[in-house]
Chains A and B, each alone.
Chain A
Amino acid sequence: MKYVDEFRDGGLARKLAKAIAAEVRQDRQYRLMEFCGGHTHAIFRFGIVDMMPANVSFVHGPGCPVCVLPKGRIDNAISLVQQHDVILCTYADLIRVPASEQMSLMKAKANGGDIRMVYSTQDALNIARANPDRQVVFFAIGFETTTPPTAVAIQQAKLEGLNNFSVFCNHVLTPPAMRTILQADGAESARIDGILGPSHVSTIIGSRAYAFCATDFATPLVIAGFEPLDVMQSALMLIRQINSGTSEIENEYTRVVTLEGNIKAQALMAEVFELRPTFEWRGLGMMPDSALRIRDSYAELDAEKRFDMPPIASSDVKGCLCPAILRGLSNPTDCKLFGTVCTPENPMGACMVSSEGACAAYWSYGRFRQPSKQETTA
């Protein structure tokens, strides 16, 4: 595939690994946070973690929308189905995420709830058009990448007067989460030396959105593509910055990321959404101005206004380290539940379910790696 295969060349990856090894200083550690779960998976799936020198480590960030969504919001969605008999449309990522009382959307569906997996907001609109006598709710989640398609659907529904369609909005923003991680101190600090910046979030918001990392926190950031050579080249660029003591926002992923991002998509988001004063994230807690809600001018399309949806407080499974993993403080292998009671077949926390979760990455690509490393050290 064009624009994919050429960025997966194994020979070039080995050359990059060599260049990285030549660049690192032996007298220090390099802690690089990949904000996105997509990067976490690339790092494990393509074996990048094994090609890095021992003093370069990847710290996994909270860039997994399914992982940071608090359980209470899934409980809310389930109650829409069970109490209001709506057709709930959701991206597949959410379907197996544990909700409270050992429920999930999949179990609610098995119990007779009309829950449908969709690929696109356009599919959800089609379901609403085909079922004029039913209420259809789109369970919207995701960072800035996924938000513009939701905005398009809301505008289309308004234009068409599609009265049986509404959106349960859970869209969240990348920069506030990054700021929270960077300003944590003491035992709460992830102690990161540089950030591998998001790929497709940056396509929308542009590289200028991260200026604060350099100006307020003196932390370098390199926007990296999701292919293995992109990740390795970006790690090299970060290591060079760290060595020279600079903190700049660089862009490795220039084929789809610009300084200003997708202005048309930004304008559309601003037209349909506004900042929520505060929103709860799993792991990061309540964060002001970190999520979006639907503006009053589109209030009739807001499921939270159309249906009675009181906030549901929820807590994570005891012993689940998801919250600390999402803040870059722990690794999946630090968790007692990992690979014992918590597996992809029987997940206790969202990090094990999502295709972007750190635990799922360790389980799928790295679970046999840890013991062999320990053996080598012993």
Chain B
Amino acid sequence: MCLAVPARIISLNETTGMAVVDLAGVQKEVSTVLVDDVQNGDYVLIHVGFALHKLSEEEAMSTLALFDELETMNNSEDSA
């Protein structure tokens, strides 16, 4: 029930807050009234037809960077 998916906004009606999002080729109309400052091209987390949050590219990259560090750590252990 709490599952939500990241999707990209491809068009936004700023008056109604309704947006069309693209999720791996599937397009769906969702409401953006629960989030501020969204625009075309933003990735948002979609749950039961509503955008709940804007995804932070920067934060996603830093989480992935954590895994990279791990890879380096594992590699150095492997070679030791």
Partner-B contacts on A (CB < 8 A): 1-4, 6-7, 9, 12, 15-16, 18-19, 22, 36-38, 63-66, 91, 93, 119-123, 141-143, 145-146, 148-149, 152, 198-201, 203-204, 226, 229-230, 233, 252, 254-256, 262, 264-265, 268, 354, 356
- Closest chain-B Cβ to A236's Cβ sits at a distance in Å of 9
- Could you say which residues of chain A place their CB within 8 Å of the CB of B52? 145, 148, 200, 203-204, 256, 262, 265
Listed residue (A36, A63, A203, A268) with the most chain B CB atoms within 10 angstroms of its CB: A203
Q: Check A66–B1 contact: CB distance below 8 A.
A: yes
- Closest chain-B Cβ to A353's Cβ sits at a distance in Å of 12
- Closest chain-B Cβ to A266's Cβ sits at a distance in Å of 10
- Could you say which residues of chain A place their CB within 8 Å of the CB of B23? 1
Q: A120-B49, A145-B2 are in contact. Are A3 and B43 (CB under 8 A)?
A: yes
- Could you say which residues of chain A place their CB within 8 Å of the CB of B24? 1
Q: Check B45–A36 contact: CB distance below 8 A.
A: no
Q: Check A3–B34 contact: CB distance below 8 A.
A: no
Q: Check A142–B1 contact: CB distance below 8 A.
A: yes
Among A3, A141, A229, contact of B6 (Cβ-Cβ < 8 Å): A3
- Could you say which residues of chain B place their CB within 8 Å of the CB of A6? 64
Bound Cα distance from A22 to B73, whole angstroms = 12
Q: Check B35–A262 contact: CB distance below 8 A.
A: yes
- Closest chain-B Cβ to A81's Cβ sits at a distance in Å of 21
Among B50, B66, B70, B74, contact of A149 (Cβ-Cβ < 8 Å): B50
Q: Check A254–B4 contact: CB distance below 8 A.
A: no
- Closest chain-A Cβ to B59's Cβ sits at a distance in Å of 4
Q: Check B74–A19 contact: CB distance below 8 A.
A: yes
Q: Check A145–B1 contact: CB distance below 8 A.
A: yes
- Could you say which residues of chain A place their CB within 8 Å of the CB of B33? 152
Q: A2-B6, A15-B74, A142-B2 are in contact. Are A119 and B48 (CB under 8 A)?
A: yes
Given A3-B43, A262-B34; 9 other pairs, CB 8 A cutoff = A63-B2, A91-B1, A122-B49, A146-B47, A148-B34, A200-B45, A203-B4, A204-B52, A264-B36
Q: Check B48–A91 contact: CB distance below 8 A.
A: yes
- Could you say which residues of chain B place their CB within 8 Å of the CB of A38? 2-3
